Amino acid sequence: MKRREFIAMLGGAAVAWPLAARAQQAGKVPTIGFLGQSTRSAGSEWVAAFVQRLRELGWSEGRTIAIEYRWGEGREERFAEVAAEFVRLKVDIIVTSGTLAVMAAKRATSVIPIVFAVASNPVGGGLVASLARPGGNVTGLSVQNSDLAGKRVELLREVVPGLRRVAVMANVGYAGAVQEMGEAQAAARMFGLEVVTLEIQRAEDIAPGFEALKGRAEALYVCAEALVTANRVRISTLANVARLPTMHGQREHVEAGGLMSYAANFPDLYRRSADLVDKILRGTNPGDIPVEQPTKFDLVINLTTAKALGLTIPDKLMALADEVIE
DSSP per-residue letters across 89-139: HT-SEEEE-SHHHHHHHHHH-SSS-EEEEEESSTTTTTS-S-SS---TTEE
Mean pLDDT along residues 23-41: 82
Q: What's 241's domain CATH number?
A: 3.40.50.2300
Mean pLDDT along residues 41-54: 92
What does the pLDDT read at residue 111? 96
What does the pLDDT read at residue 40? 87
Of 18-27, 137-146, 189-198, 315-324, the least confident: 18-27
Q: Are residues 155 and 213 in the same domain?
A: yes
- The neighbour count for residue 320, using CB atoms within 10 Å, is 12
Q: Give residue 7's pLDDT band: very low, low, confident or very high (50, 70, 90).
A: very low
Mean pLDDT along residues 274-299: 96
Q: Give residue 97's pLDDT band: very low, low, confident or very high (50, 70, 90).
A: very high
Mean pLDDT along residues 141-154: 85
Angle ∠(171,174,179) on CA atoms, nearest 5:
90
What does the pLDDT read at residue 26? 57
What does the pLDDT read at residue 22? 60
Residues 6+ apart with CB under 8 A from 188: 153, 166, 168, 194, 195, 221
Mean pLDDT along residues 299-313: 97
What does the pLDDT read at residue 11? 43
For residues 122 and 99, what is the distance between their CA atoms, to the nearest angstrom?
7
Mean pLDDT along residues 268-280: 97
Q: Are residues 33 and 117 in the same domain?
A: yes
For residues 29 and 20, what is the distance between their CA atoms, to the nearest angstrom?
7
Q: Give residue 41's pLDDT band: very low, low, confident or very high (50, 70, 90).
A: confident
The tally of CA atoms less than 13 A away on the side-chain side of residue 30 is 24
For residues 131 and 125, what is the distance between their CA atoms, to the nearest angstrom?
12
**Domain of 83?**
3-142+265-295
What does the pLDDT read at residue 17? 52
One-letter amino acid at 281 equals L
Range list of β-strands (E), the chain: 31-36, 66-71, 93-96, 114-119, 138-142, 165-171, 194-200, 219-222, 246-248, 260-264, 297-302, 323-325
For residues 266 and 52, what is the distance between their CA atoms, to the nearest angstrom?
14
Residues 6+ apart with CB under 8 A from 83: 35, 94, 101, 104, 105, 107, 108, 109
Residue 200 reports pLDDT greater than 70: yes
Q: Are residues 308 and 207 in the same domain?
A: yes
Residues 6+ apart with CB under 8 A from 192: none
Mean pLDDT along residues 79-92: 97
Mean pLDDT along residues 145-161: 89
DSSP letters spanning 56-71:
HTT--BTTTBEEEEEE
Q: Is 292 in contact with 272 (CB distance < 8 Å)? A: yes
- The neighbour count for residue 44, using CB atoms within 10 Å, is 12
Torsional class of 193: left (φ above 0), alpha (ψ -120 to 50), beta (otherwise): beta
Q: Are residues 97 and 107 in the same domain?
A: yes
Residue 107 reports pLDDT greater than 60: yes
Q: What's the domain count of the chain?
A: 2
Range of 17-21, 38-42, 171-175, 220-224 with top mean pLDDT: 220-224
Q: Are residues 46 and 100 in the same domain?
A: yes
Give the number of residues written for the chain: 326
Residue 14 reports pLDDT greater than 50: no
pTM for this structure? 0.79
Q: Are residues 128 and 277 in the same domain?
A: yes
For residues 4 and 316, what is the distance between their CA atoms, to the nearest angstrom?
69
What does the pLDDT read at residue 4? 43
Q: Are residues 151 and 204 in the same domain?
A: yes
User: Which is more confident, 281 or 173?
Assistant: 281
Residue 258 reports pLDDT greater than 50: yes
What does the pLDDT read at residue 73? 87
Q: Are residues 53 and 68 in the same domain?
A: yes
The neighbouring-strand residues paired with 140 are 116
pLDDT digits (tens, 9 = 90+) for 51-71: 999 999 999 999 999 999 999
Q: Are residues 237 and 318 in the same domain?
A: yes
Q: Are residues 190 and 81 in the same domain?
A: no
Q: Are residues 224 and 284 in the same domain?
A: no
Average pLDDT score, the chain:
90
Q: Are residues 41 and 88 in the same domain?
A: yes
Strands 138-142 and 93-96, sheet pairing: unpaired
What does the pLDDT read at residue 257? 97
What does the pLDDT read at residue 25? 55
What does the pLDDT read at residue 12? 43
What does the pLDDT read at residue 37? 86
What does the pLDDT read at residue 13? 41
Mean pLDDT along residues 302-318: 96
Residue 175 reports pLDDT greater than 80: yes
